[in-house]
Structure 1
Amino acid sequence: MSYNYLPLDKSPLNFQQVKNLLAFDQLVSITFDAHHRITECREYLDKKLDNDEALFYGINTGFGYLQNVKIDKTQLQQLQSNLIQSHACGLGEEVPIDIVKLMVMLKIKSLSYGHSGVQIDTVKRLMEMYNAGVFPVIYTQGSLGASGDLAPLSHLSLPLIGLGEVWHEGKKMPAAEVYKKFDWQPIQLQSKEGLALINGTQFMSAYGMHNLLIAERLLQWADIIAAISFDAFDCTMEPLHPKIHSIRSHKGQVDTAANISSILNGSAIATQKKQQVQDPYSFRCIPQVHGATKDTFDHVLSVFIKEINSVTDNPNIFPDEDLIVSGGNFHGQPLALCLDFLAIAMSEIGNISERRTYQLISGQRNLPLFLVKDAGLNSGFMIPQYTAAGIVSENKQLCTPASVDSISSSNNQEDHVSMGANAATKCKRVVDNVEKVLAIELLTAVQALEFRRPLKSSDKIEAIVSAFRKEISFNAADRILHEDMVKAIDFVRSYNTELHEE
């Protein structure tokens, strides 16, 4: 484990820091400034409740439709504990550990601003759990993405009071067992704390950041794999000419054309005389399609960076202004829309990839039908394309927007919800599917490229092909291609593409 810490306070968190947190297994810690802000806010809230008989939502009242029910001061601690237990209603698959890590870190980050009213011991316990490798068991279903991610964040919070289950050292166990191991005592939640913990967008935000991390890698791969297919299909370089893109200067389009030109630089295949005047859209329009997704990625990333540097619980406390204000920062609409947008954009990367795979096995451009000798006796690469097509179709179904739906809850008090949590989990399914489709194209394109020998592609492409061939050999006759596809997915997941880009 690394002893580098990610400092958490009001300072903006950037994308690289989020990547480093997971890549280098960093620990987390609030700064002295965050410590001061948290304690100052808590002291203000305690004094306010001692000297003011006013009702403050969720602090000395019930929740949702029960907002007008005043809670006696002697019951405020029990109110917060009840809240977490009653709202821990998650179902479905368990949230992957890397996303749980992001959820816990982002919750600490949100609390560090000093507008949530939590006691410092609560934040310290979250840090202790994270740094000791104690991660709550959280479920994918249960959030409407509007009153905060209530159910998932309740499961995140249960271990704070000694309840629920956690993962520790590769084993799932009751939180109580971990408490014995570390000699921890359950946190006695004070007024407002339960609400501060379970109001917020950390489930949606963590999924979004994780999806963006994976999408960034896949977009790098998409250009590289498309370039291999480009040469394997013996395409003309004209559609990559910078003059074309200068007169329709979308950033992603311009960058993609330049990137693929760079990847193909030095290819003997690319410079040989072509018989065709134009290539199919799945090759000719790579800059326009890949580029549009990259522009979408940039927009979505900007929204999520704004979100992870925000306070998203309710009500919000402003000690310096003597204000406790109830609002709706927990509403996930900005995230829901962007998660749907990202899913659609990434789905298109898989869509065009499958079309290139189809073209490569079609028997055109002096390539053998299905990229195999003795086609008929051998089916060759016929069925990997079926698999890719089935996955692409699944992605199209998953791209039905979650954000256009809303189901009223809490006796119609919460009458418009974002469904951002559903957008988040299905976006992850889309992104994971795109990885499979790209891997199938890579497997197919490398096979097709072998039929261009003795001509060579660029040094960059040949280096990747050489590394790929160390894992998967040329397919001379039918064999179990499932195994090749799994190895191709592993290659896309583990090979460092950044070594092969400008």
Structure 2
Amino acid sequence: MASLFFSSAIPADGIVPAISGTHFFDEVHRMITQFSSLSTLELKGADLTVAQVSAVARRSDVGVALDAGTARDRVDRSASWVADNPERLAAGFGTASHRRTQRTADLQTELVRFLNAGVVRKESSLPSGYAKASMLVRANTLMQGYSGIRWELLEAIAKLIDRNLIPKLPLRGSITASGDLLPLAYIAGALTGRKNVRVVTLEGDEITATEALKRVGIGEPFDLKAKEGLALVNGTAVGSAVAATVCYDANILALLSVILSAMFCEAMQGNPEFTDPLTHELKGHPGQIESAAIMRFLLDGTTELGRPTKLKQDRYALRTSPQWLGPQIETIRAATESIEREINSVNDNPLIDVDRGVVLYGGNFQGTPIGVSMDNIRIALAAIGKLVFAQFTELVGEETNNGLPANLSAGADPSLDYGLKGAEIAMAAYCSELQHLANPVTPHAQSAEQHNQDVNSLGLISARKSAEAVEILKLMMATYMVALCQATDVRALGESLREAVKQAVVRSARKTLKGFCEEELICAIERRSVFSYIDDASGKLVPELRAAVVEKALRQGKEGDRSAFEVILEFEEETSSALREDTVRARERFGRRELVADGRRTWPVYEFVREELGTAILTGEEVSPGEHIEKVYEAMEEEKIGKVILKCLKEWRGAPPNRKPASSD
């Protein structure tokens, strides 16, 4: 686990050097690779990563085993010490800790019973992937040998995970203060064969806990001994497991937002000057520096950027995207570091120090690192969503998108093609809900358990809300990728139509005007966006062409048998006819064209959406935008976007292209 993910030292001259040490991209690359390549995870009680937790949660083919050589001796020593000193662990729980009993095993059974107080109907149970990850994290933390639990119980957990036999846990009911007591009690209930606990198979069937144990070779449920029930239920495993999957997704989505911002610059024909390294070195924030460097790398070599018709300075959604995304990346990385510490921590109570022969009562079960990290990461996700929404609305607005049609409509008749108008409404809804979720959870803690748990972290609740935020941001990203590909196609279609218009007009001018005014006619065509007239070129463009001919004829006259004025009508008729025919053919040719990357490093995104997922330009015909968006969203849910990200950045070496001199204009 890296210590801080970024280099932050600023030299005396105030200019931050090229990023050194661990880069954000390096960390995301490691995560994606680890997630996809994991076949068997051998738990050691240390070095567990958010990518490994996510892989176990989402991939049924990942095997799980315990590293006995590393951990068994310390686990056995701790369990033996408890077996020899049960009277040291005879106290009751919480506000009843003054009560003592000699029936320490029965006390553990009662603990599991009274904590089975949740509701586990289908709609109110924790998703199986999260439950599976929770079992993994709990086993990992118990392997460190401070919890007084038998190795056989940890082996049973690993076997259940390995066979994808996962107990149903309540979705709600944990405050992650004395750990995630309620949901973890259902895992303990599965191990002890409680009749109310149901276990879900890989096929989705529900079986009893006893049957699940038999399927992994355990003939009878466990009878818990002193401390073992407490070791199982008194920890932060559920909150930290959900948080680990959130961190995995958030890192990928953050890097994807950097790539899509570069693609947005291409679609808008923006000015890439905003990525100049000096600008970001002078600011000094490492997340910003790396975001800008990646964007500069992606845009290097892309043609059609910064056209002179553009504003000198692009709007903030593009121009300040590195400054906006950088702090979100740093927040996500800090949260990831905190959660990776938590899933490798000893977080139950009391702790058994065998070397000193003491029982230590403390509060490592308090899940504050989870609650705070998840509140912070949710704010970062909401900020990324806000940028995506701003870029999307700029892209679909004809007043802001630099010559593209409103709603990115590509149909021949814009009165019957509303393009992505519905998608823009959906994006507003997604963004609003995402901003609402940015509100913190942790300040809403209530005093619990007769005021014993009078402060509590709400870690699992915050992690669950962050998981919701991830899903909404995925919806936004899927919609945005469809829009960016649509914009890419529409821009290319526009260029094809413009060339067809030029050829038709020049041909008509040479036929009727004998080449007179050719240059002025081309200028008239270039002055306007092709989509401002292409639906009715005869009514919108031809009058401007007529004006260009008349203006030049008045200015200098025309020699020959017939004046320009005498052939204007003929020119108009010839041009109108040629435009109708040529633009139809141009659209047909465009539909049959082969995709050309044109040197774009963002091209893998387009290729993924168009070729791999089988989508096409939307033209107002039968296919709806939602059909394409669903394909992209489902592919993201299937973890396919990671490979696309790595493909975009396969030549990235951690530094931007060499700084180029600023332009003189």
TM-score higher than 0.5 here? yes
Task: Tell me which of 210, 226, 229 is aligned to 1:176.
Answer: 210
Question: Could you tell me how far 1:16 is from its partner in structure 2?
Answer: 5.0
Is the CA contact 1:219–1:294 (under 8 Å) kept in the aligned structure 2? yes
The answer for the alignment partner of 2:330 in structure 1 is 295
Aligned to 1:310: 345
Aligned residue identity for 1:389 = A
Name the CA distance, whole Å, in 1 between partners of 2:431 and 2:598: 29
SS at match of 2:187: helix
1:64 aligns with 2:103: no
Is it true that 1:283 corresponds to 2:318 in the alignment? yes
Map 1:421-460; keep pairs closer than 5 Å. Answer: 421-453=460-492, 454=495, 458-460=599-601
**Offset of residue 193 of structure 1:** 0.7
Q: Aligned residue for 1:212?
A: 247
Q: For residue 416 of structure 2, what is the amino acid of its counterpart?
A: L
Once the two structures are overlaid, the 10-residue window that deviates more, 263-272 or 394-403, is: 263-272
User: What is the alpha-carbon distance in structure 2 between the residues aligned to residue 80 and residue 61 of structure 1?
Assistant: 11
Q: Name the aligned partner's letter for residue 159 of structure 2.
A: E
- Alpha-carbon deviation of 1:306? 1.2
Q: Which residue of structure 2 aligns with residue 392 of structure 1?
A: 431
Once the two structures are superposed, the pairs formed by residues 270-419 of structure 1 within 5 Å of their partners are 270=305, 272-363=307-398, 364=400, 365-372=402-409, 373=411, 374-419=413-458
Kept after mapping to 1: 8 A contact 2:349/2:365: yes
Q: Which letter does structure 2 place at the counterpart of 1:370?
A: N
Q: How big is each residue's C-alpha offset from its partner over 1:346-397, in whole Å with a ceiling of 9 and x where there is no partner?
A: 1111111011110111103111111114333322111101111101111111
1:90 aligns with 2:118: yes
**Alignment CA distance shift 1:128-1:463 (3 Å):** closer
* 1:106 and 2:143 are equivalent in the alignment: no
Trace 1:233-244 onto structure 2 (pairs within 5 A). 233-244=268-279
Residue identity matched to 2:73: H
- Equivalent position SS for 1:376: helix
Partners of 2:112 and 2:278 in 1: how far apart? 59
2:601 partner SS: helix
TM-superposed CA distance for 1:66, in Å, is: 1.0
**2:251 counterpart letter in structure 1:** E
**C-alpha distance after superposition, 1:108-143 (max 9, x if no partner):** 111111100112221121122122221111122010
Instruction: Call closer, same or farther: CA 1:301–1:29 in 2, change over 3 Å.
Output: same
Indicate the SS of the match to 2:442.
Answer: coil
AA partner of residue 213 (structure 2): Y
By how many angstroms is 1:156 displaced?
Answer: 1.8
Superposed CA offset, 1:459-496 (max 9, x none): 32234313322221101115422212101213444242
- Aligned position for 2:646: 498
CA contact (8 A) 1:347 1:431 kept: no
Q: Check 1:110–1:279 CA distance in 2 against 1; reply closer, same or farther (3 A cut).
A: same
Distance, in Å, in 2 between the alignment partners of 1:113 and 1:420 is 23
The residue identity in structure 2 corresponding to 1:469 is R
Cα distance in 1, alignment partners of residues 291 and 41 from structure 2:
33
Q: State the superposition RMSD in angstroms.
A: 2.1
User: Alignment length, in residue pairs?
Assistant: 493
Residues 1:112 and 1:210: Cα distance change in structure 2 (over 3 Å): same
* 1:257-296: CA deviation from partner (whole Å, max 9, x where unpaired): 1111112222112264452111111111111122111111
> What is aligned with 1:139?
170
Distance change (3 Å), C-alpha of 1:127 and 1:466: closer
- For 1:401 and 1:357, the matched residues in 2 are separated by 26
| Unmatched 5+ stretches in structure 2 | 1-36, 497-596, 653-665
**SS across alignment from 1:6:** strand
Which is worse superposed, 177-186 or 295-304? 177-186
8 A Cα contact 2:199 2:206, kept in partner? yes
SS at match of 1:144: coil
Map 1:149-168 → 2, pairs under 5 A:
149-163=180-194, 164-168=197-201
Does 1 or 2 have the higher relative contact order (CA < 8 Å, sep 6+)? Answer: 1
1:457 and 1:295 mapped to 2: Cα distance?
Answer: 33
CA contact (8 A) 2:167 2:200 kept: yes
How has the CA–CA distance of structure 1 residues 223 and 492 changed in structure 2, closer, same or farther, with 3 Å as cutoff? Answer: farther
In structure 2, the residue corresponding to 1:188 is in which secondary structure? coil
Q: In the alignment, what sits opposite 2:459?
A: 420
Q: Hey, what does 2:13 align to over in structure 1?
A: none
Alignment partner of 1:417: what SS? coil
Letter matched to residue 44 of structure 2: D
Larger mean CA deviation between 199-208 and 39-48 belongs to 39-48
Q: In structure 2, what is the equivalent of residue 48 of structure 1?
A: 85
- Greater displacement, 486-495 / 287-296: 486-495
Which runs of 5 or more residues in structure 1 are unaligned? none
* Residues in 1 aligned to 2:38 and 2:320: alpha-carbon distance in whole angstroms: 46
Report the alpha carbon displacement of residue 3 of structure 1 after superposing the two structures with TM.
Answer: 10
